[in-house]
Structures are given as C-alpha cells and as structure tokens.
C-alpha cells in the first residue's frame, strides 16, 4: 500500500507520552524526520517525515491531536506541502496589522485565529488548542512573532481557503 501513495496525513499521537505512537512507528519504518516539533503554538507537536520506498519518497505529515493545533498545523505545514507535491509555486503570505497588542512566549511563534477587515487583524476569542469555537468564527491564522507585538505591528496572514 505504501508504494501507491505520495502523502500520508495522520492526527494525534505525535507527542512523547505513553500513548503517543507516531514517532515509534516512523522509527520502525526507517523514516527520516524532517520536522520533529515546530516552535509554534498551537501546532507544536507537528511532525514531518520522509519514507523512502522503492523508486520514490513518501511524505508523512503527522498533525497534533488537539483540534485547533491540528487545523493550525494543516494550514501552516500541510497546505504548502500539498502545493509543493502538486508542483504549485510557493504562495506569498500577505501582511496584516494587529488591531491590539498580542504577547507570545519567547522562542515560540503563535498562530492566532482571527478575522481581517482590509489589512487589520482581530483575534477571535477562545484560543485554547483544544477549542474550535474561535476557529469557527475565524477567516484564517495570523502568524505572530515571539515576544510582545504592539497594536500596529505586522504579522503574516494564512487564510482559510
């Protein structure tokens, strides 16, 4: 079966807990890890691996199990990966301006769901990684830089298409 696919996408089991099986399975398949967690929240526990099979490689994208984390990782990693596999040119992300100050932990970017009006980004409420209510009201994610981002700062915009 693995020799007839270009991409495998899974959800859940990507952390290092006792019930997280994706990394051991990838190791057993002799996969090469390309991304083993990303410095972004939600979506930290995203994994990208390459499985070498016969005459070609297979991409393996493992999304986190929390709903908002999975969606954030799908749009920020999965969509560009699928585009690349289809031969599409890289999509340039638009810049938006923050309507209010947003603080992100040092060392981590943040994918904040929200809405835009023109080029102005407003985050939605309910931002927890297990919550979908905020995402349901969003038009996309703003990629917020680590640290304090004052009102008027810019962020890259990842729209839901």
Query: Which domains, from first to last, does the chain contain?
Result: 2-85 (3.40.980.10), 94-159 (2.40.340.10)
pLDDT value at position 128? 67
Instruction: Identify the DSSP state of 1.
Output: -
pLDDT value at position 127? 66
Distances in Å between the alpha carbon of 115 and those of 16, 72, 92, 153?
33, 15, 19, 16
* pTM score of the predicted model: 0.90
Which structure tokens are listed for 18? 């006792």
Output phi, psi for 27, to 5 deg.
Answer: -65, -45
pLDDT tens for each residue of 8-53: 999 999 999 999 999 999 999 999 999 999 999 999 999 999 999 8
Which residues in the chain come in under a pLDDT of 70?
Answer: 1-3, 126-129
């Amino acid at each position: 079966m693995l020799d007839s696919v270009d991409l495998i996408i899974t959800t859940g089991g990507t952390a290092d807990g006792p019930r997280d099986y994706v990394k051991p399975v990838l190791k057993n398949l002799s996969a090469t890890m390309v991304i083993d967690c990303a410095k972004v929240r939600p979506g930290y526990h995203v994994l990208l691996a390459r499985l070498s099979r016969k005459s070609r490689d297979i991409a393996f994208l493992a999304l986190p199990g929390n709903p908002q984390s999975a969606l954030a990782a799908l749009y920020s990693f999965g969509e560009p990966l699928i585009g690349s596999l289809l031969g599409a040119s890289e999509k340039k992300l638009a810049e938006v301006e923050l309507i209010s100050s947003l603080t992100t932990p040092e060392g981590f970017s943040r994918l904040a769901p929200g809405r835009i009006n023109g080029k102005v980004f407003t985050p939605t409420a309910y931002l927890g990684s297990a919550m979908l209510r905020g995402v349901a009201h969003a038009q996309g994610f703003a990629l917020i830089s680590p640290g304090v981002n004052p009102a008027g700062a810019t962020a890259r915009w990842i729209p839901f298409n």
